[in-house]
Amino acid sequence: MLIAMQRPPPSTALFEPALQPRRLSQILWATSIACAAGLLGTLLTGKLLTSLLLAATMVILALAIWLARRGHVVRAAHLMLVTLTVAISGLVFLSQGIRDEAVFAYPGILIFASMFGTRRLYLGLVAFVFLVLSGVVAANLLGWHVNPVQPLHWGRLANVLVILAVTAFFVWLMASDLRSALTQAQADNQRILESHARIDVLAHQDSLTGLPNRVLARDRLEQAIALARRNHSAAAVLFLDLDNFKTVNDSLGHSTGDQLLCAVAQRLVAAVRDSDTVSRQGGDEFLVILGGITDDEAATTAAVKILDQLSAPFVIAGVEVSTTGSLGIAVFPQDGADADSLLKHADLAMYRAKDAGRNAFRFFDAEMNNSVVEHLQLTTGIRQALRNHEFTLHYQPQFELASGRIVGAEALIRWRHDSLGFIPPAKFIPVAEHSGLIHELGAWVLHEACSQAKQWQTDGLGDLVVAVNVSPVQFRRDDIEREVATALVDTGLSPSCIELELTESLLLADSEHLNGVLKRLRSMGIQFSIDDFGTGYSNLGYLSRFDVERLKIDQSFVRRMLDNPSDEGIVRAIIEMAHCLKLQVVAEGIEDAPTLERLTALGCEFGQGFHWSPALPADEFLQYCRTYAESRP
């Protein structure tokens, strides 16, 4: 309805070229000059009524000229048309009737009216001319008014020539305007065609590389699928993502990144057949469509060629740039029966190639899709579990080996799903890290652990130190400091009763940023330990840089130390190294008395494991501590 309201009303003109004031003034002046010439002739011959008629016509034409100069073009044109029609009709009636040379002026007037007047004016003038001519003829035939027939003389020739000259001038001006309008229309049409061609290019081609974009690529893929279905053959989709493109952009600038993308596009085109399609999907993602293949071997060959093409360095603006790519491959019909399925599965396979170390290719398999579905289910489940308070903390007691007393506990998160049952942390923690939910989950663990430690103090267990595992992802934002401070303030727990367990990978990833965060947390009174030490880089450099209290020996070494001399050697080396750095040692996974005795002999200060107790719910942990204290002498 809004469109209909905004649409301009239909015009009543037969034809509407632009009538310029200058052009109308030229026509008016030419007509006025012709009238002046006629007026001079009638004055010489003594025709008083004709002279008065021509004089009145000239006055009205002068008014029309005045209107045209002030921009009232339509009014001026209509006034001129009506005036000339009436004036010519008067001349016909006063002179020789239908035989008068003034009749020759009617066609010019009607031509002008058809082009620059409204339909109503044009039809009105035609009807008026017909009526006048019919009336004059009828009056002559019935004897009411008889127009005299004058003999032929040079004056009549002059009148005819003037009328034809004015009409010819008028027609020439209109034809000139029509030619200009036609030329302009042809030029506009050409520009529209060129614009449509550019729009078509922009709609189907990537503006940077000139490759087909995702719209055209999808069309090509659907054609390849249809052809493969008809020929009972196969088609493949190769999804390529450059591995280190962001580093190039950040270090060398976006201009260099754009040049690299163009160079990659050229190599991709060179690596495949002319009948194949190479498309840029956006950013540093490319799509290769292989049609008319017979088996997976053709896709493998293409993938190897592509990775080989990318292995050679690129020279961009005099700088040698190296990049690699990760390729995911999905093949029709086994990996999908339509374009959407193939694109989705190729994308999943590409991420599997990245997980495999990059600079590699992987074919899609159903397990990938199952993993993605499971990942989505876990992500949704974690959100619901946080909202419905489904997570709980269990606590495994930590002992001082020399005295045997309980000095603390490690908080371990547990999740029992309503339908999936118990889900181990090793399964849902990576999902939480990948989805960003680890920040909310980690904040809850910190607050819950602090709250429970404070409650145990109220219950008479003393100042037990509760160790909380912190994900490296939590340190990528500065929220970790606020979350720790908030938990301590809300619960009223002393900072000395909380220990944050860090991983080796975190300490190696961002030492400058992490050092500042650890110093600020240290200034609050928080203690730190390094979890699962020995399974990572075991780098002495970061141990000397970061102010930590304790190392926790990974339980895999502790459990095998009595059966494997190598593992015992690793445990001994870790203990001696920690003592040299003035660090305490916690052994995880102590499951029997001989292991405990050996660790005590090696100088290990603290330990935890099934030899004493598994991780327990908070109320059972409280009862265990009380029972343990009563059983000791």
Detail the DSSP E strand segments found in 418-484: 421-423, 465-469
- pLDDT per position as a tens digit, 84-95: 888 888 877 878
Q: What are phi and psi of 267, to 5 degrees?
A: -70, -35
Alpha carbons within 13 angstroms on the beta-carbon side of residue 428 total: 25
pLDDT band at 26 (very low <50, low <70, confident <90, very high): confident
Cα-based distances in Å from 431 to 104, 377, 390, 421: 94, 10, 17, 17
- Average pLDDT of 517-526? 87
Using an 8 Å Cβ cutoff, are 602 and 571 in contact? yes
- Residue 12: pLDDT over 50: no
pLDDT band at 9 (very low <50, low <70, confident <90, very high): very low
- Average pLDDT of 180-205? 74
- pLDDT per position as a tens digit, 32-55: 887 787 777 777 666 778 778 878
Q: What are phi and psi of 280, to 5 degrees?
A: -100, 125
Best CA proximity match to 93, nearest among 61, 127, 49: 49
- pLDDT per position as a tens digit, 431-477: 888 888 889 999 999 999 999 999 999 999 888 999 999 988 887 77
CA separation for the pair 46, 436 (Å, rounded): 106
Residue 576 or residue 250, greater confidence? 576
- Residue 154: pLDDT over 70: no
The helix (H) or strand (E) run that includes residue 203 is: helix 154-204
Burial class (CB in 10 A: 0-12, 13-18, 19+), 549: middle
Best CA proximity match to 602, nearest among 402, 392, 432, 433: 402
Best CA proximity match to 93, nearest among 46, 129, 45, 142: 129
Q: Which of 216-230, 272-286, 361-375 has the lowest mean pLDDT?
A: 361-375
- Average pLDDT of 337-348? 90
- Residue 534: pLDDT over 70: no
Please tell me the predicted confidence (pLDDT) of residue 198. 67
Please tell me the predicted confidence (pLDDT) of residue 393. 96
Please tell me the predicted confidence (pLDDT) of residue 469. 92
- Average pLDDT of 557-577? 91
Q: What are phi and psi of 492, to 5 degrees?
A: 75, 20
Mean pLDDT value across the chain: 83
487-490 long-range contacts (CB < 8 A, ≥24 apart) are 487/443, 487/446, 487/447, 487/449, 487/450, 487/451, 488/450, 488/524, 490/447, 490/450, 490/451
CA separation for the pair 234, 321 (Å, rounded): 36
Question: Between the ranges 92-101, 109-118, 240-249, where is the mean pLDDT highest?
Answer: 240-249
Please tell me the predicted confidence (pLDDT) of residue 202. 59
Please tell me the predicted confidence (pLDDT) of residue 240. 93
Question: Please, what's the b/e burial string for 318-351 (b: 16 or more CB within 10 A of its CB; e: otherwise)?
Answer: eeebebebbbbbbbbbebbeebebbbbbbbbbbb
Please tell me the predicted confidence (pLDDT) of residue 610. 94
pLDDT band at 535 (very low <50, low <70, confident <90, very high): low
Beta-strand relationship, 616-617 and 584-587: unpaired
Who contacts 18 (Cβ-Cβ below 8 Å, separation ≥6)?
A: 177, 181
- Average pLDDT of 517-543? 76
Give the tokens for residue 485. 């401070």
Q: Which of 71-85, 400-414, 517-531, 550-564 has the lowest mean pLDDT?
A: 71-85
- Average pLDDT of 150-177? 68
Cα-based distances in Å from 408 to 478, 530, 534, 628: 27, 16, 22, 13
**Helix and strand tally (H, E) in the chain?**
23, 17
Alpha helices in 244-338 (DSSP H): 245-252, 254-271, 296-311
Using an 8 Å Cβ cutoff, are 240 and 325 in contact? yes
Please tell me the predicted confidence (pLDDT) of residue 31. 79
| Residue 70 DSSP SS3 | coil
Stated length of the chain: 633
- pLDDT per position as a tens digit, 202-217: 567 888 888 888 888 8
- Average pLDDT of 374-378? 76
Q: What is the dihedral of CA 435, 438, 440, 444, to 10 degrees?
A: 150
Please tell me the predicted confidence (pLDDT) of residue 319. 82
pLDDT band at 506 (very low <50, low <70, confident <90, very high): confident
Who contacts 236 (Cβ-Cβ below 8 Å, separation ≥6)?
A: 289, 290, 293, 296, 298, 299, 302, 329, 330, 331, 332
Q: What are phi and psi of 315, to 5 degrees?
A: -105, 110
- Residue 8: pLDDT over 50: no
Please tell me the predicted confidence (pLDDT) of residue 532. 77
Residue 502 or residue 143, greater confidence? 502
Please tell me the predicted confidence (pLDDT) of residue 201. 60
pLDDT band at 282 (very low <50, low <70, confident <90, very high): confident
CA separation for the pair 263, 425 (Å, rounded): 45
Give the rounded percent of residues in the chain with a pLDDT score beyond 70: 87
Alpha carbons within 13 angstroms on the beta-carbon side of residue 103 total: 15
Q: Which of 314-323, 366-375, 458-467, 487-496 has the lowest mean pLDDT?
A: 366-375
Residue 545 or residue 293, greater confidence? 293
| Residue 242 DSSP SS3 | strand
Give the rounded percent of residues in the chain with a pLDDT score beyond 90: 29
Please tell me the predicted confidence (pLDDT) of residue 89. 83
Please tell me the predicted confidence (pLDDT) of residue 186. 82
CA separation for the pair 47, 130 (Å, rounded): 26
CA separation for the pair 177, 24 (Å, rounded): 12
Alpha helices in 459-585 (DSSP H): 479-491, 504-509, 511-524, 540-545, 555-560, 565-580
Who contacts 234 (Cβ-Cβ below 8 Å, separation ≥6)?
A: 228, 293, 294, 295, 296, 298, 331, 332, 333
Give just the sign of the alpha carbon dihedral 146, 147, 151, 152.
negative
Q: Provide the residue type at 251 as one letter.
A: S
Cα-based distances in Å from 532 to 491, 528, 551, 562: 29, 13, 8, 19
Q: Which of 233-237, 358-362, 493-497, 608-612 has the lowest mean pLDDT?
A: 358-362
pLDDT band at 502 (very low <50, low <70, confident <90, very high): confident
Question: Between the ranges 179-188, 313-322, 380-389, where is the mean pLDDT highest?
Answer: 380-389
Q: What are phi and psi of 532, to 5 degrees?
A: 55, 40
- Residue 536: pLDDT over 60: no
Q: Provide the residue type at 104 as one letter.
A: F
Beta-strand relationship, 391-400 and 361-363: unpaired
Q: Provide the residue type at 365 as one letter.
A: D
CA separation for the pair 514, 522 (Å, rounded): 12
Reported pTM? 0.53
The helix (H) or strand (E) run that includes residue 279 is: strand 277-282
Detail the DSSP E strand segments found in 301-351: 314-316, 319-321, 325-332
